[in-house]
Chain A
Amino acid sequence: MQISMAVNGDEVTREIEPRVLLVHFIRENLGLTGTHWGCDTSNCGTCVVLMDGQPVKSCTVLAAMADGHDIRTVEGLAVGGTLDPVQQGFMEEHGLQCGFCTPGMMLTARALLDRKPHPDDAEIRQAISGQICRCTGYATIVRSVQWAAAHPPGWDTETDAGTDDGGAAGTTAEEVTA
């Protein structure tokens, strides 16, 4: 069957087997390997992408179900070469180690911040509770998302301009989350 969708803003049309999962379609048909898979049972959330702005586990979505929808993957987070604050936050606050769950975590964080620009820690934990990270113990992921919340897109050209090397880099996580 033929399906069409927007992936990171690009219209794509492909001929597929009806049973192909969205995660395989993204990785193998489109070659966007930033989306990972980890469990096959919709438990780990490594495969999370945004479908019409909402996080979905792409191992539990058929590619055919995404026909006509808008898909955003980790490759679509940075805009025009500028990292999304969520991406920057994960680097600032050590929100990743092996990096395998990171794309899914960042996309969920982006969806959360779009909905609620200043979440509290509990809301961040709730938002990522369908995703597993085996490395970080989550605290630094929470700090990373809070870093992003404190630095919305364009922050570095606005109020924080002139501070040393990116403003919050010199502050502790506790200060950012307070």
Chain B
Amino acid sequence: MTTVQEHAPNPAAGDPGRPIGFGRLQRKEDPRFVRGKGNYLDDIVLPGMLHGAILRAPVAHARLVSIDTSEALAHPGVRAVITGKDLQALNLAWAPTLSADVQAVLVTDKVRFQGQEVAFVVAEDRYAARDALELIDVEYDMLPPVIDARHALDADAPVIRDDIEGRTDNRIFDWEIGDAAETEAVFAAADVVLTQEVVYPRVHPAPMETCGAVADFDPIDGRLTLYETTQAPHAHRTLYAIVAGIPEHKIRIVSPDIGGGFGNKVGIYPGYVLAVVGSIVTGKPVKWVEDRSENLMSTSFARDYIMQGEIAATKEGKILAVRTSVLADHGAFNATAQPTKTPAGFFSIFTGSYDLKAAYCKVTGVYTNKAPGGVAYACSFRVTEAVYLVERMVDILARKLEMDPAELRLKNFIKPEQFPYANKTGWVYDSGNYEPAMRLSMHMAGYEDLRREQREKRERGELMGIGVSFFTETVGAGPRKHFDIVGLGMADGAELRVHPTGKAVVRISVQSQGQGHETTFAQIVAEELGIPPESIDVVHGDTDQTPFGLGTYGSRSTPVSGGAVALVARKVRDKARFIAAAMLETRPEDLEWEKGRWFVKGDPSAGKTIAEIAFGAHGTVALPDGIDGNLDAEVTYDPPNLTFPFGAYICVVDVDAGTGHVKVRRFIAVDDCGTRINPMIIEGQVHGGLTDGVGMALMEIIAFDEDGNCLSGSFMDYLIPTAMEVPDWETGFTVTPSPHHPIGAKGIGESATVGSPPAIVNAIVDALAPYGVTHMDMPCTPARVWEAMQGRARPPV
């Protein structure tokens, strides 16, 4: 069932007509943030705390010959200088990654990317620690680097990972999915076959707060308290227990307020481990916070996929099949944070929103002398790359067939009656109704008028482009049986306690980085129990306080943890029925639920509210057998499937023919994330993702020179959109609930980041059609657009 609305309902806060659960609601976390009272990692100060700083390699590939730390150690205020050799003695020089590889915590044998961690200084203040870095003398023996992934598998390419016994090349994995023979048969018989190399360059999440940690090891009881910028505190705790050998019950991970994550704060970085080692060595709490250059040069990048796209269709425009071969640059260590069984993440959703006869893809992952990482920046585990590829290929097909790109998409959508829809690469799309979303976006845009305006402008030699994209995401991993990270099933827990006076606390395993969990999850409980959101506290980000779960990334908080919270509230509601029956001296089956209370069927005046029932549970009422004296419950939710949000985006650009400058004039985004919990927060998530899209499409790239020097190591070089580069977003929505999710909700956090880059690039290529341009790679900077107009399109650096 799909409903279509142009604008989100906007009931006033405090409006008596406002629903108690779902609806627009001001955020519970905002009062502290607007007063400057957030508590971010660098705000944490512990008694006697020392400060750490990391010496990083200035080169991309070199043997480590020697390190002399004597002068640094003698510097005033310095308490310790730790090198790879010291870590070797502790068996901590290498740490496992999230992708069954290992990564050096500090270099012991050779440097494998510029910015790699070489030594760690602990000092009394951050200025002294930084000063001491300059006093460490390191001698390197230079090696030729592998920078371009296209040459990583050359016969004469240097072997980057000679630390792994028996390794003779830079291949990490080959992975394929789909039926190659079936796909080849469809391609061979097709009227139209088009190919295009599509590059998604390396970009970076660059949250406003960089990564950091405060480690506090208590040598007396062997307890480690670790404050960290992490999106996944529980998974980190388990990994530290495995890596450091500290018993898991002696580890407490606290993830305080997080200043943006976007995937950057999923993995375990050497800096975190070094803060722990520093605290163990000095016996004091140690804080480590990276600077912006360290963040851009060494922490999880995103994308870096070179994709050979192919699309097959009839001459009437029926898309038959897609096929691709991908070269995936994973950097020097395979440290992508993704489910174990899917080395290319969820890239196999590259079949998009279309009903195809066949599909096949092959992904080859390689090592290069660049920073490790790979799944980050709101990418939904590589759905970003997948959607970009298919949406570019569909546009290329539209151009070839001289069809309108919106009409071509409408012609090929999976139809509503085909859901649940099993695609050709193993996904079962839970629900969808694509045409109304596409039509709504076209209506909001005034699509026909825009095309008319474009024709008139072209006659005057002005460059205006209209770009369309339609995306389907797959978000919310589990199910456990299919998805795990280092063996941990991707489920999430929730615990709910209703206090005697009817106020409640819900404890969740996911961690907000700005998504507003303290509000959204309170609203879910409110919807289920009928107590107001302001009476419900949401506790998160502390492993001592919350149940186990895999954390926030891949748009999984609402699909997984949101399901857990709805179910735990229902469990409480079910228990409340028994207690209410005891209080009313009737049978549970004689009671009926209305939001907030159980009452006797046929006698609405005889009932008990949740608050009354909570007091009864803790009071003196004789409880039935098997019902203990509280109104608490806990669950772990293992979702039966992922959720498949979708959306239709239209972008209008104007290109300056003289300079190649692209102006995003309008952007229309229609999203469908199923049931909408808080429309205000959803709109905010979409706006942020659209801005990410403008950044990636127009300006963001982590570039390297041929020696492996990172050319994007500061915000002077790595450009991020400001208020001047983005338009006033135009958003709309449709509602197609997920059939299996307890409240019908799907993820929304990454939809716009996934869906917007192809809309923008499609618009730019459309604007440049008079110049014969059929494709260009991101970022579409003025220089590159201008070069494309001169017939000299070049791939990104």
How far is it, in angstroms, between the C-alpha of A170 and the C-alpha of B692 when the chains are bound?
Answer: 30
Question: Beta-carbon contacts of A135-178 to B below 8 Å, as 1s and 0s?
Answer: 11111111000000000000000000000111001101000000
For A34, A99, A133, the residue with the greatest tally of chain B CB atoms inside 10 Å of its CB is A99
Contact A74/B35 with A91-B30, A169-B14 known, Cβ cut-off 8 Å: yes
Within the complex, the shortest CB–CB distance from A44 to chain B, in Å, comes to 6
Contacting B at CB under 8 A, from A77-106, are 77-78, 83, 87-88, 90-92, 94, 96-103, 106
B684 and A78 form a contact (CB under 8 A): no
B716 and A96 form a contact (CB under 8 A): no
Residues of A contacting B293 in the complex (Cβ-Cβ under 8 angstroms): 40
Any chain B CB within 8 A of the CB of A13? no
Any chain B CB within 8 A of the CB of A121? yes
Within the complex, the shortest CB–CB distance from B678 to chain A, in Å, comes to 9
B29 and A99 form a contact (CB under 8 A): yes
Main secondary structure of the interface of A (DSSP, over half): loop
How far is it, in angstroms, between the C-alpha of A39 and the C-alpha of B296 when the chains are bound?
Answer: 10
User: In the complex, what residue of chain B is closest to A170 when comparing beta carbons?
Assistant: B12
A164 and B40 form a contact (CB under 8 A): no
For A36, A97, A121, A137, the residue with the greatest tally of chain B CB atoms inside 10 Å of its CB is A137
Any chain B CB within 8 A of the CB of A120? no
Across the interface, B31 reaches (CB within 8 A) one of A20, A91, A129, A165, namely: A91
B723 and A94 form a contact (CB under 8 A): no
How far is it, in angstroms, between the C-alpha of A162 and the C-alpha of B279 when the chains are bound?
Answer: 57
Contacting A at CB under 8 A, from B686-702, are 686-692
Any chain B CB within 8 A of the CB of A60? no
Any chain A CB within 8 A of the CB of B208? yes
A98 and B728 form a contact (CB under 8 A): no
A75 and B681 form a contact (CB under 8 A): no
Any chain A CB within 8 A of the CB of B36? yes
How far is it, in angstroms, between the C-alpha of A169 and the C-alpha of B24 when the chains are bound?
Answer: 11
A99 and B728 form a contact (CB under 8 A): no
Residues of B contacting A88 in the complex (Cβ-Cβ under 8 angstroms): 34
A165 and B720 form a contact (CB under 8 A): no
How far is it, in angstroms, between the C-alpha of A132 and the C-alpha of B208 when the chains are bound?
Answer: 8
Residues of A contacting B127 in the complex (Cβ-Cβ under 8 angstroms): 17, 19-20
Any chain B CB within 8 A of the CB of A58? no
A135 and B209 form a contact (CB under 8 A): no
Residues of B contacting A78 in the complex (Cβ-Cβ under 8 angstroms): 35
Residues of B contacting A17 in the complex (Cβ-Cβ under 8 angstroms): 127
Contact A134/B684 with A35-B36, A41-B292, A100-B40 known, Cβ cut-off 8 Å: no
A138 and B723 form a contact (CB under 8 A): yes
A99 and B514 form a contact (CB under 8 A): yes
Across the interface, A98 reaches (CB within 8 A) one of B36, B292, B513, B692, namely: B513
User: In the complex, what residue of chain B is closest to A167 when comparing beta carbons?
Assistant: B12
Within the complex, the shortest CB–CB distance from B685 to chain A, in Å, comes to 8
Residues of B contacting A139 in the complex (Cβ-Cβ under 8 angstroms): 687, 726, 728-729
Any chain B CB within 8 A of the CB of A38? yes
Any chain B CB within 8 A of the CB of A2? no
Residues of A contacting B27 in the complex (Cβ-Cβ under 8 angstroms): 91, 94
A165 and B684 form a contact (CB under 8 A): no
How far is it, in angstroms, between the C-alpha of A35 and the C-alpha of B210 when the chains are bound?
Answer: 15
B40 and A106 form a contact (CB under 8 A): no
User: In the complex, what residue of chain B is closest to A19 when comparing beta carbons?
Assistant: B127
How far is it, in angstroms, between the C-alpha of A142 and the C-alpha of B126 when the chains are bound?
Answer: 36
Tally of A-B residue pairs with Cβ under 8 A?
189
B716 and A43 form a contact (CB under 8 A): yes
Any chain A CB within 8 A of the CB of B771? no
Residues of B contacting A98 in the complex (Cβ-Cβ under 8 angstroms): 207-209, 257-260, 513-514
How far is it, in angstroms, between the C-alpha of A36 and the C-alpha of B33 when the chains are bound?
Answer: 12
How far is it, in angstroms, between the C-alpha of A41 and the C-alpha of B7 when the chains are bound?
Answer: 40
Residues of A contacting B686 in the complex (Cβ-Cβ under 8 angstroms): 137
B726 and A99 form a contact (CB under 8 A): no
Any chain A CB within 8 A of the CB of B225? no
B680 and A106 form a contact (CB under 8 A): no
Any chain A CB within 8 A of the CB of B515? yes
User: In the complex, what residue of chain A is closest to B258 when comparing beta carbons?
Assistant: A98
Residues of A contacting B10 in the complex (Cβ-Cβ under 8 angstroms): 172
B37 and A34 form a contact (CB under 8 A): yes
User: In the complex, what residue of chain B is closest to A103 when comparing beta carbons?
Assistant: B36
Any chain A CB within 8 A of the CB of B436? no
Question: Beta-carbon contacts of B239-263 to A below 8 Å, as 1s and 0s?
Answer: 0000000000000000001111010
How far is it, in angstroms, between the C-alpha of A112 and the C-alpha of B12 when the chains are bound?
Answer: 28
Any chain A CB within 8 A of the CB of B134? no
A100 and B722 form a contact (CB under 8 A): no
For B10, B722, B723, the residue with the greatest tally of chain A CB atoms inside 10 Å of its CB is B723
Contact A39/B258 with A34-B36, A91-B31 known, Cβ cut-off 8 Å: no
How far is it, in angstroms, between the C-alpha of A96 and the C-alpha of B265 when the chains are bound?
Answer: 19
A33 and B36 form a contact (CB under 8 A): yes
Within the complex, the shortest CB–CB distance from A92 to chain B, in Å, comes to 7
Across the interface, B292 reaches (CB within 8 A) one of A36, A39, A91, A164, namely: A39
Within the complex, the shortest CB–CB distance from A77 to chain B, in Å, comes to 8
How far is it, in angstroms, between the C-alpha of A113 and the C-alpha of B328 when the chains are bound?
Answer: 49
User: In the complex, what residue of chain B is closest to A87 when comparing beta carbons?
Assistant: B34
Within the complex, the shortest CB–CB distance from A166 to chain B, in Å, comes to 7
B728 and A135 form a contact (CB under 8 A): no
Contact A96/B208 with A44-B715, A91-B27, A131-B722 known, Cβ cut-off 8 Å: no
Any chain A CB within 8 A of the CB of B196? no
Contact A164/B12 with A35-B36, A100-B209, A126-B724 known, Cβ cut-off 8 Å: yes
How far is it, in angstroms, between the C-alpha of A91 and the C-alpha of B24 when the chains are bound?
Answer: 12
Within the complex, the shortest CB–CB distance from A56 to chain B, in Å, comes to 17
Contact A90/B715 with A97-B684, A129-B724, A134-B720 known, Cβ cut-off 8 Å: no
Residues of A contacting B722 in the complex (Cβ-Cβ under 8 angstroms): 128-132, 138
How far is it, in angstroms, between the C-alpha of A146 and the C-alpha of B291 when the chains are bound?
Answer: 34
Within the complex, the shortest CB–CB distance from A148 to chain B, in Å, comes to 11
A33 and B687 form a contact (CB under 8 A): no
A90 and B13 form a contact (CB under 8 A): no
Any chain A CB within 8 A of the CB of B589? no
Residues of B contacting A128 in the complex (Cβ-Cβ under 8 angstroms): 722-723
Any chain B CB within 8 A of the CB of A125? yes
A164 and B14 form a contact (CB under 8 A): yes
Residues of A contacting B43 in the complex (Cβ-Cβ under 8 angstroms): 27, 33
B720 and A132 form a contact (CB under 8 A): yes
Residues of B contacting A62 in the complex (Cβ-Cβ under 8 angstroms): none
Residues of B contacting A40 in the complex (Cβ-Cβ under 8 angstroms): 291-293, 714
B515 and A94 form a contact (CB under 8 A): no
Residues of B contacting A100 in the complex (Cβ-Cβ under 8 angstroms): 38, 40, 207-209, 259-260
User: In the complex, what residue of chain B is closest to A92 when comparing beta carbons?
Assistant: B26
For B516, B687, B689, the residue with the greatest tally of chain A CB atoms inside 10 Å of its CB is B687
For A88, A130, A138, the residue with the greatest tally of chain B CB atoms inside 10 Å of its CB is A138
For B36, B210, B683, B714, the residue with the greatest tally of chain A CB atoms inside 10 Å of its CB is B36
Residues of B contacting A90 in the complex (Cβ-Cβ under 8 angstroms): 30, 34
B36 and A75 form a contact (CB under 8 A): yes
User: In the complex, what residue of chain A is closest to B516 when comparing beta carbons?
Assistant: A97
Contact A165/B687 with A34-B37, A73-B36, A75-B36 known, Cβ cut-off 8 Å: no
User: In the complex, what residue of chain B is closest to A138 when comparing beta carbons?
Assistant: B723
Across the interface, B723 reaches (CB within 8 A) one of A74, A96, A142, namely: A142
B723 and A141 form a contact (CB under 8 A): yes
User: In the complex, what residue of chain A is closest to B716 when comparing beta carbons?
Assistant: A41
B687 and A137 form a contact (CB under 8 A): yes
B684 and A94 form a contact (CB under 8 A): yes
How far is it, in angstroms, between the C-alpha of A77 and the C-alpha of B714 when the chains are bound?
Answer: 31
B208 and A101 form a contact (CB under 8 A): yes
Residues of A contacting B688 in the complex (Cβ-Cβ under 8 angstroms): 97, 134-137
A92-B26, A100-B209, A138-B722 given; 12 more Cβ-contact pairs under 8 Å = A33-B39, A44-B208, A77-B35, A91-B30, A94-B27, A94-B680, A97-B688, A99-B38, A100-B207, A134-B260, A142-B728, A166-B14
Contact sample, A vs B, 24 pairs, CB 8 Å cutoff: A34-B37, A36-B40, A36-B42, A36-B208, A38-B292, A40-B292, A46-B208, A74-B36, A75-B35, A78-B35, A90-B34, A94-B683, A96-B30, A99-B259, A102-B34, A124-B723, A132-B720, A137-B686, A139-B687, A139-B728, A140-B684, A142-B728, A169-B12, A169-B15
3 A-B pairs with least C-beta separation: A34-B36, A98-B514, A137-B687
